[in-house]
Chains A and B, each alone.
Chain A
Amino acid sequence: MNYSGFRVFWEGLTGNAGWKPAWRDPDPRAEYDIVIVGGGGHGLATAYYLAKEFGQRNIAVVEKGWIGSGNVGRNTTIVRSNYLLPGNEPFYEFSLKLWEGLEQDFNFNAMVSQRGIVNLYHSDAQRDAFARRGNAMRLAGADAVLLDQDGIRELCPFLDFDNARFPIRGGLWQPRGGTVRHDAVAWGYARGADKNGVDILQNCEVTGFQIDNGVCKGVETSRGKIRAKKVAVCVAGSSSRVMERAGMRLPIESHVLQAFVTEGLKPIIPGVITFGAGHFYVSQSDKGGLVFGGDIDGYNTYAQRGNLPVVEDVCEGGMAIMPMIGRARVLRMWGGVVDMSMDGSPFIDKTAIEGLYFNGGWCYGGFKATPASGYCYAHLIARGEPHPVAVDYRLDRFRHGAMIDEKGAGAQPNLH
């Protein structure tokens, strides 16, 4: 069934009797060509592009809980491509371009809203760094505008420009950045994949891998053994736990990132605003709630909740740039477990085990990467070689000194 305005109108006239479930709930088959482990945004996107763009058939996505129950439903929904390094920027720009065409492509309203993202700067040195970043973005085909204080005043007149400690001097603006309805991304990809014949197997936890002489031949799950020619793991947040079952140690630590939503307010925040002197970012959801967050908590954890010192730090950041936020009341806060990698950048690669692929290490930035991650992972699985924008996301890059360290923080995951 195709979704359209006409369809909504027609169903309205006929008692909404024609809507059907958006995807099937099949039983696992004994064998697939490709099994994708993890039914989050990235796993479902991978299945979708494998079927639609790379002509693969006979694919299953296995998910421990229900699809979209992990980080794709726990993030702050921001999309952007404002990276600096050549290993990253073309990939994220590719992702932003996929976001721009996504809703037409998979025929689902993901509420892609390009309201712009502005990174504030507070000093001359930071202005120089942002000018450099903006140039790097433009070289990769992205959009970037360096704004002075007047430019920022026009966008966000409510900021505390003359803050005594961190006055706002200007910002780097990416007009094409914005937000996307996160759950709808998982649902849209799931529906699109299902339409192309992918079996989505929920409540199906992978408990082990069938590895024979260095070749992966399938997975053991809570719903029985499934043979597969290729197994693609895509479980950021739980990567170490899952890959341990294949005998692999990863350059990853699991950390918790907290997020917050206030009560619904009238439209006030034009796009996404980030603080340049601390860690704080804020946008406003379509329901009106201010959605904001900041640093990760900074210690290894698999608990989907954080601690209060970071709550305080995030709120201080908010008060520092827009004191009016102190009038808003926080309704909800939650945490998501993220794969923090050793250089702050992700992995999309084969492993040393033939037929076993790995995608993970997305740190706190996996949501914006969803379309490109799925597309590039599908490219790697189908063609056996990395997509041109994802060639640097190798698992062995630390061995060769080829890390992609945007922040220059070194092998210290909680500093990225």
Chain B
Amino acid sequence: MIIEHPLLGPRDAAEFTYLGDAAMIDRPDWQSGDAIREFHDYLYLRDNPAGEHRELWFHEQGDRSWLVVTRNTTTHEITKVELARDTALASGRHR
């Protein structure tokens, strides 16, 4: 697989390590009354879809940026690559 890095251009997927579902960017609120259940679900449960999947890749052998890659899990086709930082800021995270 070739990942189209937003800053560096096309890079071999072997340069990256994989973390998983990009939903992990959104940590639950630790002060929520239901925090224990929310953190259990956040840590251990996954949607694991067959089809389009937004996921976190870390460019470990490159510029060490985190990317959000939109990839089809049935074909391995990559349709979108964003910097995870941009995704997090756009969703309201301040750091």
Chain A residues with CB under 8 Å of chain B are: 240-241, 249-254, 298-303, 307, 309, 342, 398-399, 411-414
Contacts and interface: CB of A to CB of B under 8 A. Distances in A.
A309 B18 CA distance: 14
B75 A303 contact: yes
B35 interface: no
Contact of B55 (A241, A300, A302, A412): A300
A240 B75 contact: no
Contact of B44 (A251, A254, A300, A307): A251
B13 A249 contact: no
B46 A240 contact: yes
20 contacts: A240-B47, A240-B49, A241-B50, A249-B45, A250-B46, A251-B45, A252-B46, A252-B48, A254-B73, A298-B17, A299-B13, A300-B21, A301-B74, A301-B76, A307-B76, A342-B43, A398-B40, A411-B44, A412-B20, A413-B20
A249 B41 contact: yes
B47 A249 contact: yes
Given A253-B20, A398-B40, A398-B43, A303 B73 contact: yes
Nearest to A304: B74
B73 A399 contact: no
Most interface-central of B13, B19, B21, B50 (chain A CB within 10 A): B50
Interface residues of B, number: 26
B1 interface: yes
B18 A298 contact: yes
Given A299-B18, A398-B40, A413-B20, A250 B48 contact: yes
A172 to B, nearest CB: 29
**Interface residue SS majority, chain B:** mixed
A241 B20 CA distance: 17
Given A240-B47, A300-B53, 4 more contacts: A240-B46, A307-B76, A342-B44, A399-B40
A412 B21 CA distance: 11
B47 A411 contact: no
Contacts of B45: 249-251
Contacts of A250: 45-46, 48
A254 B48 contact: yes
A398 B36 CA distance: 11
A301 B51 CA distance: 9
Interface in B49-82: 49-50, 53, 55, 71, 73-76
A309 to B, nearest CB: 4
B44 to A, nearest CB: 4
A278 to B, nearest CB: 15
Nearest to A312: B14
Contacts of A398: 40, 43-44
Given A300-B20, A302-B73, A414-B18, A309 B48 contact: no
Contacts of B75: 303
B34 interface: no
A303 B74 contact: yes
Contact of A309 (B12, B47, B71): B12
A309 B11 CA distance: 13
A300 B53 CA distance: 8
Contacts of B76: 301, 303, 307
